Structure 1
């Protein structure tokens, strides 16, 4: 399979810099293929897939495929994964819908980069089972419960950032379904209902407005774009962005975090705001360690890094942001989603309101 050089963003990150970050992620990967947060730390399915995507973007295909093989081997019979594993042992058995759905984004990303049809065929049953599980948690209005309780019932709370991420996962799952010749029209309707809930029903979601993820994820996940997306980002820019340092995780804490900053970079890029995105990627480089890994965050009132850990998923977010800004790999625009489905939502379906739309408003 053809491989490109690692991404680079002139004046911010060289290809060698990005390659070092990818190697720092691969260096933490366990023999099983799992990518924990840091050596000896826990693995969760979402961040594991994010790390696999970074490995692919940097050309480390063997390591990425080992990570996806881990997903295939550890998927439970119902299509889920435990929320937390340490050294292969389950530490938290919770089924988190966003964690489970994200494998679809990773599978589509890897296929787009490599063109490996055999990989697509191997991953399709994994993605199908995960999506079917996740959609079982969807309400008539469109939002999805964030987790399943120990009694087997879905909890009655939906999270905006998680549902926005699932929106992107469903779009990628539909693309994979079409690629392997297994179209899923029911998923199209579910995607449309979810997109509508994200755009028109804020009351459907728990109030987590303190967190920057609830601010930018509806844009990053593809539900809100165009003028509405720009208005959303500009409306709370001063609440979350700290000049020269990056983006806060929480609006009332003096703490900037690398992953949130890079995800905001990706969201800005989807809106055509490449200049602001590049500035933010440059601003968060104070978190870079000499070996290419990245510290999770920085408390700017006392100049301390906190927590005192360098996380694989922070480095992964940097690699994906660099790829998006440089347009290096065939999957660099995966969050733009220009070729991905926007779903279908029949008028009057679901919640009963008359504001359903097909597609994403400008």
Structure 2
């Protein structure tokens, strides 16, 4: 029997009530007592995937556990507003990669807005707002004149100004969530509106401003998932890459031409498909990756090498399970998840005066 917290996480051919509950438990089992959610116990934590897993917990109604995850971020934010790229087993005293990546640091805004929409907890929003504000300002210091966001800062603070399309698409979603938080708090951020508009424009119209990572499926669907591409442009983007990246009955390749499908990319594509109204194909993708599910843990193997019929790597990550739960939650109509991943439900920022005559979408 379903409960009010997980009824929207039940999807025929994807998750039964018992399976949904087991997957949620699998993520909770990976969370440390201090709130950190590493990839799996003994592996590292990165701030983006930590947040993705926390969002899945909110989608499942595990709001206290999700709040602990966000409080972990607030406690361990660096003075400049960033977080390190990786921490050993989620231990904040043991960073294993002291660089700081722009999309990793921006993503707290997505998670905080999602948690607020799921709970209505104004005290939480007040408490996390300073962390969101500092993180956004740190990220925007890496924005280039063309609107794109530099990838990261090296451990010594040196900026890497090369921009990644996937990362920038995620930052675009995060900036829009940060603007939504600012609006809710009645603290307008006009500079953020300009920055978000310039970034969205760069993603839509200036591929030359990003490193060429065309082989990676994330660069294909992330402009749709992050909300920069909508409507006909999004549909055309999905159609253009479908045969190249989707392996029927198996899922989505991480990188072409490798015979390797991954659960995380597949679930994210399912979310992108939901966002453009392709719920049937979204469901089809989610069903295709159930071969990656481990029923004993409720978690999912990262990927499957289909020409060798082999699981690889041999790991089950909290963020893969989180991505699956979020895709199912969107298809199930979970209001907070739909609001965060529904491109039309977030502030859009201000488009720059550029490329006159080019359609905005």
TM-score above 0.5, yes or no: yes
Superposed CA deviations along residues 214-239 of structure 1, whole A, max 9, x for unmatched, are 00000000001111111111111111
1:103 aligns with 2:75: no
Whether the 8 Å CA contact 2:100–2:155 is kept in 1: the answer is: no
Which residue of structure 1 lines up, in the alignment, with residue 338 of structure 2? Answer: 332
**Matched residue of 1:187: which SS?**
helix
- Partner of residue 341 from structure 1, selected from 342, 347, 361: 347
1:345–1:356 contact (8 Å) kept in structure 2 = no
Structure 1 gaps of 5+ residues are: none
With normalisation by structure 2, the TM-score equals 0.95
Aligned residue in 1 for 2:12: 10
1:332 match: secondary structure: helix
More helix by share: 2
**Number of the residue aligned with 1:154:** 159
**Runs of 4 or more above 4 Å deviation:** none
TM-score (norm 1): 0.95
1:256 to 257, 261, 279: 261
The answer as to 2:330 corresponding to 1:317 is: no
Which residue of 2 is the match for residue 20 of structure 1? 22
Contact 1:72 1:123 in 2 (8 A): yes
Alignment pair present for 1:123 and 2:128: yes
Deviation at 1:316, TM superposition (A): 0.3
CA-CA distance at 1:13 after TM superposition? 1.3
- Deviation for aligned residue 1:154: 1.4
Asked whether the 8 Å contact 1:48–1:67 carries over to 2, the reply is yes
**Structure 2 match to 1:306:** 312
Separation (CA, whole Å) in 1 of partners of 2:214 and 2:334: 34
Which one of the candidate residues 53, 63, 83 is aligned to 1:61?
63
Match in the other structure for 1:283: 288
Question: How many residues of Structure 1 are paired with residues of Structure 2 in the alignment?
Answer: 354
What does 1:214-253 correspond to in 2, within 5 Å? 214-253=219-258
Q: 1:24 to 1:184 in 2, by over 3 A?
A: same
CA distance in 2 between partners of 1:39 and 1:169 (Å): 27
Structure 2 Cα separation of the partners of residues 199 and 22 of structure 1 = 36
* Cα contact 1:346–1:356 (8 A) shared by 2: no
Q: Report the Cα distance in structure 2 between the residues aligned to 1:251 and 1:192, rounded to whole angstroms.
A: 31
CA contact (8 A) 1:327 1:333 kept: no
